[in-house]
Chains A and B, each alone.
Chain A
């Protein structure tokens, strides 16, 4: 059996190569062309860092990138706070009637088409006469990403043994101390993973941001989108490459954190 599993047939190699190419070839081409010296996107003119240089001198693009990072950081933080509280309430609130209904409602943004959430948020902000800009995008992204944080934290919390908190209370903690000293350290990796998920989701959102942002406060994806409509500049490739790098790093950190989280709290054999 072990031999069969370990054997790599030509079919397997072909399937793997095609699958990977399907997923990553466009990204690889984009990354390679970001180092293109030529002004034309489709013509290779030798290696160069010219377009990276260009980006760091492009005021409007830099503003958009800075705006995106701020929105992502602030909305991810708020979403993590609210999402964690929601997860705690849904998992631990035994006396909380209608838990099933609330968790169903919480997951609605997961399946809701973004155009609909974006439009409804726009209508709300217009009705409230809110000035659209940084805060409206941040609030919109918080509502988008909070459910993702809740899902991640909730699954960790549900797998956590309830008697740990009881043991903490038995040993002199009031319920709040028990949560802070025992539960929180144990779900912290899941909270961190949830934050990073929220951050990346916010960073690459175009639809909701374009509904809820105002003049002069475009996020990076919106900026890129509008530039591309006028023709793809190699500078866009450079920006995209940097965004991909940032997101890849965050995803690696998030998956390491959640791996750490799931290996803790479960008994393993002694070494």
Chain B
């Protein structure tokens, strides 16, 4: 019964309510308005607002204790907001109990029912929804095929590997075809290789089902790989909501720049502005010329952020034909540390001015005749366009 169709018809497992593009633009599927949650005197979530569109793969990224799981649990209904509203499809879901919300959650530890088989775990939510037996069998069959667990239906959770448990948990939370699927650290318990392949499978699944996924993670690589948009959280607030690229290339604050990826930061003051360039006098880095940001800098006390892979390095400095404008920011220093990481090498430099700068260079060739080692004098340079100016 459960295996009548070897190929799953994608259209059949579409979300229950496809939202027309125009309507989606007018009203997001999920709107969080000024939501706060306090535990005692501690504000886990602090007046947070966020819109999530239908069909989005959204990631909440943040260090542990930043409130991302609390926010997710409020969406599932396990916590009630102290302030603010949560609107799902325009309707306030505050009075809706967890078992009545069109939202399902995949738990961090999977929370599979140990006394039930794989099949009964997946069918659990369908039985509660009062579905007919035949329809349940069909749906379970679809779900088992979707997560590639054919032949495992009769097993108990303790007879499954970590990856298989993860799939059962996913199938169980998808079976009711929720409007929004919440995933709490879905891959944290898997090893690195399995995590990477599962990331791709989750993306593929989300694209095929057209469902809205909200994933909570502390792993920025995971968030960057999977999500269309990322909300970076710290201390109960959203620091920035952006695409993975914008988050990395245009961080909104010092904190985001430091949390997402590696960064060199120089604190300084704007000393002059001329034809789309600012000159910033930094304490230990000297004067740095940066491109004028699209949003005008209003304060004079700023930080300059530059990603390590944008800091070029060589023994003799840039070749003369590299264009002088690309090499305005030119520093000399000594290599203090070399970390070979396979695809790239990270160099730590101590500049003559005293500042410590990290530079990451791709190992593009197998044999590097001009390899740099600790103790060598080098020239480091970077382009004004690659710098990000952040207000302090």
Residue from B97, B112, B114 whose CB has the most chain A CB atoms within 10 Å: B114
Closest to B169 in A: A167
Contact with B along A154-172 (1 / 0, CB 8 A): 0000000101101111111
Please state if B157 and A170 are interface contacts (CB–CB under 8 Å): no
Stretch at the interface among A80-88, A111-119, A236-244, A259-267: A259-267
Determine if B92 is an interface residue (Cβ-Cβ < 8 Å).
no
**A interface residues, tally (CB under 8 Å):** 24
Number of A-B contacts (CB under 8 A): 74
Chain A residues whose C-beta falls within 8 Å of the C-beta of B113 in the assembled complex: 164, 167-168, 182
A262 to chain B, nearest CB (A): 12
Contact with B along A248-271 (1 / 0, CB 8 A): 000000000000000011111111
B250 to chain A, nearest CB (A): 37
Closest to B158 in A: A268
Closest to A182 in B: B113
Please state if B114 and A166 are interface contacts (CB–CB under 8 Å): no
Chain A residues whose C-beta falls within 8 Å of the C-beta of B78 in the assembled complex: 166, 169
Please state if A170 and B158 are interface contacts (CB–CB under 8 Å): no
A186–B115 Cα distance when bound, in Å, is 7
Q: Which of B99, B112, B160 contacts A174 (CB 8 A)?
A: B99
Chain B residues whose C-beta falls within 8 Å of the C-beta of A172 in the assembled complex: 99, 125, 128-129, 176
The answer to whether residues A171 and B172 also contact, given A267-B158, A271-B159 and a CB cut-off of 8 A, is yes
Interface magnitude class on chain B = 20 to 34
Residue from A164, A174, A186 whose CB has the most chain B CB atoms within 10 Å: A164
Please state if B98 and A185 are interface contacts (CB–CB under 8 Å): no
Q: Binding site of A, secondary structure by majority: helix, strand, loop or mixed? A: loop
The answer to whether residues A171 and B107 also contact, given A186-B114, A266-B158, A271-B159 and a CB cut-off of 8 A, is no
The answer to whether residues A171 and B160 also contact, given A186-B114, A264-B115 and a CB cut-off of 8 A, is no
Chain B residues whose C-beta falls within 8 Å of the C-beta of A166 in the assembled complex: 76, 78, 98, 105, 107, 111
Please state if A170 and B129 are interface contacts (CB–CB under 8 Å): no
Contact with A along B90-124 (1 / 0, CB 8 A): 00000001110000110111011111000000001
Which residues between 268 and 298 of chain B lie within 8 Å of chain A, taking CB atoms? Answer: none
Determine if B161 is an interface residue (Cβ-Cβ < 8 Å).
yes
Please state if A267 and B99 are interface contacts (CB–CB under 8 Å): no
Chain A residues whose C-beta falls within 8 Å of the C-beta of B125 in the assembled complex: 170-172
Chain B residues whose C-beta falls within 8 Å of the C-beta of A174 in the assembled complex: 97, 99
A185–B113 Cα distance when bound, in Å, is 10
Closest to A185 in B: B115
Seed contacts A163-B107, A167-B172, A185-B115; 5 additional CB < 8 Å A-B pairs: A163-B108, A166-B107, A168-B113, A169-B78, A172-B129
